[in-house]
Amino acid sequence: MTERNTADTDVSATKTLKVALLGAGNVGSQVARILLDDADTLAARTGARLELAGIAVRNVDAPREVELPRELYTTDASALVRGADIVIELMGGLEPARTLILEAIEHGATVVTGNKALLAVDGPALYEKADAAGVQLSYEAAVAGAIPILRPITDSLAGDKITRVMGIVNGTTNFILDAMDSTGAEFSDALAEATRLGYAEADPTADIEGHDAAAKGAILASLAFHTRFALEDVHCEGITGVTAGDIASAKEAGYVIKLLAIAEKIQKTDDAGLPTSGVSVRVHPTLIPREHPLGAVRGAFNAVFVEAENAGELMFYGAGAGGSPTASAIMGDVVSAARRLVLGGPGRTDSTIEVLPVLPIKAVATRYYIGMDAADEPGVLSKIAALFAENGVSIETMRQTVHREPGEVEGPGSAELRIVTHRAGEAALAATVEAINGLDIINSITSVLRVEGV
Amino acid sequence: MTERNTADTDVSATKTLKVALLGAGNVGSQVARILLDDADTLAARTGARLELAGIAVRNVDAPREVELPRELYTTDASALVRGADIVIELMGGLEPARTLILEAIEHGATVVTGNKALLAVDGPALYEKADAAGVQLSYEAAVAGAIPILRPITDSLAGDKITRVMGIVNGTTNFILDAMDSTGAEFSDALAEATRLGYAEADPTADIEGHDAAAKGAILASLAFHTRFALEDVHCEGITGVTAGDIASAKEAGYVIKLLAIAEKIQKTDDAGLPTSGVSVRVHPTLIPREHPLGAVRGAFNAVFVEAENAGELMFYGAGAGGSPTASAIMGDVVSAARRLVLGGPGRTDSTIEVLPVLPIKAVATRYYIGMDAADEPGVLSKIAALFAENGVSIETMRQTVHREPGEVEGPGSAELRIVTHRAGEAALAATVEAINGLDIINSITSVLRVEGV
């Protein structure tokens, strides 16, 4: 037994806390390894020995990458939960994770989970149950893997007012977009490469359609704006429609395309009849300037950019997934939970003191990038510019590249037009795009993407 | 006296906590503004009304930028402290800040300070006094301004093992180095520009000599390695010797020069007789690859890069100074303190469970960049390479640029040599440099800089 050698309180590490681990996958096995290997360090840091009481799995005899004492495995998750002080849920999915977490709450156990899918769907109900029972429910690992982001938002920025959060919170899509940006590959080739290297799952839908990012966006928005948001509150667009041409055009104009989860407090919108204050939570491919801190986030890394009234701009960067990094975040929550259990204090970390309405994507004003293929003839630019003006959308920059056959000086060539607008409402932009689409000089509108960070 | 409210969902803001503010400068006035303007929000977030009991200043009638009710000002700091639940010390300097903090601790008040100079000198003694009195002493604002870095290190990474911390923790020097990098300016011109724009103080010594970064390095090292380090434990080199030539050469080789505060756990050194495990805390100009996350930190921004066994690489980025950003960090500590006073719990955030020796700079092994001016004659490269090999320093890359008068094809021109080594001990490198200096084919050694992040 280790004894604590600091004397600020009379706590010795003779206390034991029973830890139940649910799930022995990529993250769970690393958490088990840390609990066993670092037992003495953890005891010194918390004032209690963290005893791994058992690991609930579906099949005790399944082959596993990390070697752990066989007697730790059990298929009776419920019994394990009932005897635990701290329950670490790493099974993923909705059931039986939800039932077991509710059981842990009922028994007064502290719960640590990394299950963003469950939190996005059932978070509000689970938080309320935990609050009512006076039980702590922590989930730092659910957003941006190893990056400490929830605690800074809830604690460090507790005396400030967050105005906007923009996160690269899905490593798979960042890897794909980064590969497209650096190699010029098309989406399908970059996805194949990501799958080959293990950055994308066999069924990548949840990642590439933005659902995973949306779940994290709901959690970030809830903490940043002290209101509970669920998955259905998030407007979600994935990256399957992003082409090599979009990436190349963005690059030429000094931008990089990232899939961002954005949660933004909006005080006013320019459209009549819409709420004048609320929160927009959305996930979509976004152009950001290459020199923006988020622009430098490469490969499968994650980063969350936070804007607050007093703090200004902050960014938190790190590994967004992986067994050990995610286990680090889980263990941060476990150590905090253990300290609270030893030293006392309810350690309430999130508060829902405001009830802000969710704004529809139509209430959002942002800049837009519009790429289009037009006929190369006199008057095209002025016709298009007139349509923008009629719809109240102000153009910031307009670039034109003319494509002609070699040797051809003039003639029926086509022109690639790329327009970046000033801030405009979603509705005004949609009307503009519709009007442009109706022009016979327009061959096609190749992309409409939002621009942030300028 | 405050009473503990055990039901965490049943907190009403009828409780009042008296807040004493010491100092009404740039940061103090912003803290006062937030306490007054955001009183309702703060009450909702903490469960208590934070009553600004008074602001201790030297001269009640001095002109101030932020308009605050005149009756808040007092010159009797001591009386103010004795009646407070929370004392915010923003006077800076050693005295009377130290005496007033000790007085606050004796009276059982929670202390929040941003005084890195005091903490670097007297931190260990103050922490012990606070521990012994069971009083919380928080100082998030002391390192990297608005960036939440101390709480992530002490709480979020509490279940992990930090191996290295590298921080751009001084905005003035980062502004100067960034200006030199982007404009090619010499140090003195960049410093003059920084002074003109208000990024450097009239007496910039503490910044440009690295003392301010060293104070922050001592705090970061203490928290990261659970051992108390003071200013005298930090090896410190400033940026006054960095030339436009160094910056240009580094740039050409794909590096950027940053002043880094580095705290590193070293398990072994290659020099016999030196401790085989301990911590090196040092501040010096450092070459880092331009694509490294720290390489993208521009202007007066700060960032702290953390490497941990499980989490891998993390970075925290934001404003390192300024009234409002620093006030944001102060208020984060104040809200946490108020929550603890309302909800209970000692909220111990740092622990000194290890006693690691401080290693001298000679125990550090790193990569080096050496620039030298040599005669342009056959055999120079091999002579120099031989000296590196004799001293056990392995060369990674060697670049040579020959300078000749226009029209001159061969002759007594000089060659600029730039060498980047593999990891080598400080002693071996020093011996190599001395040996090279003794060669008659060497005109001068123009720079010796450390390289990190590769």
The answer on pLDDT for A51 being more than 50 is: yes
Angle at CA of residue A57, ends A52 and A61, nearest 5°: 105
What are B450's strand-pairing partners? B286, B368
Tokens 């060669």 map to which residue?
Answer: B439
The ipTM (two decimal places) reads 0.84
Mutate to test the interface with A, among B328, B348, B349, B356 (most CBs of A within 10 A): B328
| Architecture label for domain B150-319 | 2-Layer Sandwich (3.30)
| Architecture label for domain B15-145+324-343 | 3-Layer(aba) Sandwich (3.40)
pLDDT at residue B364, rounded to an integer: 79
Of all residues in chain B, the one with the smallest CA distance to A152 is B148
CA-based nearest residue to A287, from A256, A264, A261, A260: A256
Q: Which string of DSSP letters, residue by residue, matches A324-392?
A: HHHHHHHHHHHHHHHHHHHH------------PPBPPGGG-EEEEEEEEEEE--TTHHHHHHHHHHHTT
- Give the minimum alpha-carbon distance from B34 to chain A in angstroms, rounded to a whole number: 8
Of A134, A155, A314, the CB nearest to B318: A314
Burial class of residue A119 (count of CB atoms within 10 Å of its CB; 0-12, 13-18, 19+): buried
The answer on pLDDT for B284 being more than 50 is: yes
Whether residue A4 and residue B336 make contact (CB cut-off 8 A), yes or no, is no
Count A/B contacts: CB-CB distance under 8 Å: 233
Residue type, B189: D
Q: How many CB atoms lie within 10 A of CB B39?
A: 15
| Architecture label for domain A15-138 | 3-Layer(aba) Sandwich (3.40)
CA-based nearest residue to B35, from B47, B53, B22, B12: B53
Q: CATH for B364-451, among 3.30.750.24, 3.40.190.10, 3.40.50.720, 3.30.70.260? A: 3.30.70.260
Helix B426-437 vs helix B380-390: angle between axes, to the nearest 10 degrees? 150
CA–CA dist A314, A316 (Å, integer): 7
Burial class of residue B163 (count of CB atoms within 10 Å of its CB; 0-12, 13-18, 19+): middle
Which pair of structure tokens corresponds to residue A244?
């090599």
- What 3-state class would DSSP assign to A148? coil
CA distances from A55 to A76, A321, B23, B135, B401 (A): 9, 21, 54, 39, 62
pLDDT at residue B113, rounded to an integer: 96
CA–CA dist A118, A349 (Å, integer): 19
Over residues A255-274, the pLDDT tens digits come to 999 999 999 988 765 566 65
The answer on pLDDT for A9 being more than 50 is: no
Q: Which residues contact A339 (CB under 8 A, 6 or more apart)?
A: A45, A46, A47, B158, B348
Residue range A63-91: mean pLDDT, rounded: 93
Tokens 């190893």 map to which residue?
Answer: A146
Of all residues in chain A, the one with the smallest CA distance to B30 is A310
The strand pair at A235-236 and A278-289 is best described as parallel
Whether residue A156 and residue B309 make contact (CB cut-off 8 A), yes or no, is no
User: Is the Cβ–Cβ distance between A439 and A387 less than 8 Å?
Assistant: yes
CA-based nearest residue to B221, from B207, B236, B209: B236
Q: How many CB atoms lie within 10 A of CB A167?
A: 30
Whether residue A319 and residue B325 make contact (CB cut-off 8 A), yes or no, is no
Over residues B13-22, the pLDDT tens digits come to 578 999 999 9
Residue range A90-113: mean pLDDT, rounded: 95
Q: How many CB atoms lie within 10 A of CB B132?
A: 11
**Phi, psi of A443, deg, nearest 5:** -75, -45
Residue range A123-133: mean pLDDT, rounded: 88
Whether residue B315 and residue A313 make contact (CB cut-off 8 A), yes or no, is no
Mutate to test the interface with A, among B5, B88, B156, B291 (most CBs of A within 10 A): B156
Domain ranges, ordered by start, for chain A: 15-138, 150-319, 364-451
pLDDT at residue B285, rounded to an integer: 95
Helices (H), A226-284: 244-252
Whether residue A155 and residue B157 make contact (CB cut-off 8 A), yes or no, is no
Over residues B195-243, the pLDDT tens digits come to 999 899 889 999 999 999 999 999 999 889 988 888 888 999 999 999 9
The answer on pLDDT for B361 being more than 80 is: no
The helix (run of H) or strand (run of E) holding residue B134 is none
Q: Choose, from B216, B251, B258, B383, the residue flagged as catalytic.
A: B216
Q: Which residues contact B46 (CB under 8 A, 6 or more apart)?
A: B13, B17, B335, B338, B339, B342
Over residues B66-116, the pLDDT tens digits come to 888 999 999 999 999 999 999 999 998 999 999 999 999 999 999 999 998
Residue range B24-48: mean pLDDT, rounded: 92
The strand pair at B235-236 and B312-319 is best described as unpaired
| Domain B15-145+324-343 and domain B150-319 have a common topology | no
- Looking at A352-366, A427-441, B303-317, which range is the least confident one? A352-366
Over residues A134-153, the pLDDT tens digits come to 889 999 999 988 899 988 99
Supply the residues of A annotated as catalytic: 216
Q: Which residue has the higher pLDDT, A230 or A412?
A: A230
The answer on pLDDT for B380 being more than 60 is: yes
User: Is the Cβ–Cβ distance between A359 and A266 less than 8 Å?
Assistant: yes
- Looking at A165-174, A176-185, B415-424, which range is the least confident one? B415-424
Of A45, A160, A330, the CB nearest to B331: A160
Whether residue B318 and residue A319 make contact (CB cut-off 8 A), yes or no, is no
